[in-house]
Amino acid sequence: MTDSRTMSANGPRRLGVLLLASLLLACSGCTRSAVPLTLVPETSTPGGLATPIPPTPTLGSLVINPSGATYAVVWVLPGEALPLRQPAGVAGAPVGSLPADARGVRLSGNSLYLGSSQWVEVASPGATGWVNSWNLTEDVSPAESCADSRVPDLLRSFAHAIDNRNGLALVSLISARRGLVIRHDWWNPEVILPASFIPELFVSPTEWEWGMERAGEMPIQGTFPAVMLPLVDDVLGSDPEVTCNSLRAGTTAETVRWPGEYTNLNFYAYYRPDRQLGTGFSWRTCAIGIEYVDGRPYVAVLVFFRGEI
């Protein structure tokens, strides 16, 4: 499998500003490769206006719970595995692996940084090795998460902040480890909005590449307010049907599923039924993935689903 972490935030260029040179080191066992942050001159669009460059996401530290808490593998594709390495780092030799859906992973408590990447030592049956913390999350069972009264409160606060266009309020609600990970459609690549970007989420001119339209293969590009906010408003503002760890869907020719690399993230799904009688395809679902950081739930992922022919 690929031993690298893909930061799927792409392009925009910030007018008159050069980004400071830095380099995010590649991490082990991820399905994404690190994107170097280099000196980038401003570039103009055909109309002569510069387009701001999206900030490169950085990963916050994994809080290692000394009380013996367990962790789960995330951001590894089904059928692939997360290598355990000795010593830490992508150059370390594989000494074992964890399956993509592994839960109950125990850490030794040892942790170190290689560049901007935090590596943690895993003690698994038969082998002890190091993995990049991007691929681990606190292990919370589906039943436990669905019964956690803090999660509905979190999601109400999230919807309220969206409705009021309050980026500062959102900061305390999203996963500080990852920022906010968004998929325009479940099969499109993810876009990672760094936590540092969230305060300006509703006013920033920064454009993002959200993937492709399946019909016609047209690219989806634009600001969060122009592209994603109408989708969020459409679902969360429609008195949707809410389920925990299950997806509602209307008529569609494609399979509707929670992306496999998020298997160990619990989620709530908001389903807005079809509004156009006779078609059945105008329904939408917004699934919100929850990540626990030091025992507290946060919004980590937004995935959108819609009817397809």
pLDDT digits 0-9 by tens, 120-131: 999 877 789 999
Phi, psi dihedrals of residue 6, rounded to the nearest 5°: -90, 120
CATH code of residue 164: 3.10.450
Per residue in 129-175, pLDDT (tens digit) is 999 999 999 999 999 999 999 999 999 999 999 999 999 999 999 98
Q: What is the model's pLDDT at position 54? A: 66
pLDDT: which is higher, 10 or 105: 105
State the pLDDT confidence band at 276, using cuts at 50, 70 and 90: low
- Are 179 and 74 in a shared domain? no
Contact status, residue 171 vs residue 188, Cβ threshold 8 Å: no
Which of 138, 158, 173 lies at the terminal end of a domain, its last residue? 138
State the pLDDT confidence band at 57, using cuts at 50, 70 and 90: low
CA distances from 8 to 26, 60, 71, 121, 241 (A): 14, 17, 24, 26, 30
- Are 212 and 287 in a shared domain? yes
Q: How far is CA 169 from the centre of its chain?
A: 19
Domain total of the chain: 2
Provide the 10 A C-beta neighbour count for residue 28: 28
- Are 85 and 180 in a shared domain? no
State the pLDDT confidence band at 238, using cuts at 50, 70 and 90: confident
- Are 30 and 165 in a shared domain? no
Q: Where on the phi/psi map is residue 79: left (φ > 0), alpha (ψ -120 to 50), or beta? A: left
- Are 84 and 187 in a shared domain? no
Contact status, residue 45 vs residue 77, Cβ threshold 8 Å: no
Phi, psi dihedrals of residue 284, rounded to the nearest 5°: -145, 150
pLDDT: which is higher, 6 or 59: 59
- pLDDT over 90 percentage in the chain: 59
CATH code of residue 46: 2.30.30.40
Q: What is the model's pLDDT at position 59? A: 62
- Are 197 and 106 in a shared domain? no
- Are 36 and 17 in a shared domain? yes
- Are 209 and 275 in a shared domain? yes
- pLDDT over 70 percentage in the chain: 76
Q: How far apart are CA 50 and CA 12, in angstroms?
A: 8
- Are 69 and 194 in a shared domain? no
- Are 22 and 73 in a shared domain? yes
Q: What is the model's pLDDT at position 216? A: 64
Give the residue carrying structure tokens 């803090």: 150
Q: What is the model's pLDDT at position 11? A: 39
Per residue in 241-275, pLDDT (tens digit) is 999 999 987 777 677 889 999 999 999 999 998 87
Helix axes 229-236, 150-163, angle to 10 degrees: 120
For range 7-26, the mean pLDDT: 35
Which of 107, 138, 169 lies at the terminal end of a domain, its last residue? 138
State the pLDDT confidence band at 303, using cuts at 50, 70 and 90: very high
pLDDT: which is higher, 242 or 239: 242
Which of 138, 170, 199 lies at the terminal end of a domain, its last residue? 138
Using only C-alpha atoms, what is the Rg of the chain? 20
- Are 283 and 201 in a shared domain? yes
Contact status, residue 158 vs residue 172, Cβ threshold 8 Å: no
Q: What is the model's pLDDT at position 35? A: 29
Q: What is the mean pLDDT of the chain?
A: 81
Q: What is the model's pLDDT at position 213? A: 86
pTM: 0.79
Domain that holds residue 261: 143-306
pLDDT: which is higher, 15 or 62: 62
- Are 155 and 301 in a shared domain? yes
State the pLDDT confidence band at 67, using cuts at 50, 70 and 90: low
State the pLDDT confidence band at 41, using cuts at 50, 70 and 90: very low
Q: What is the model's pLDDT at position 33? A: 30
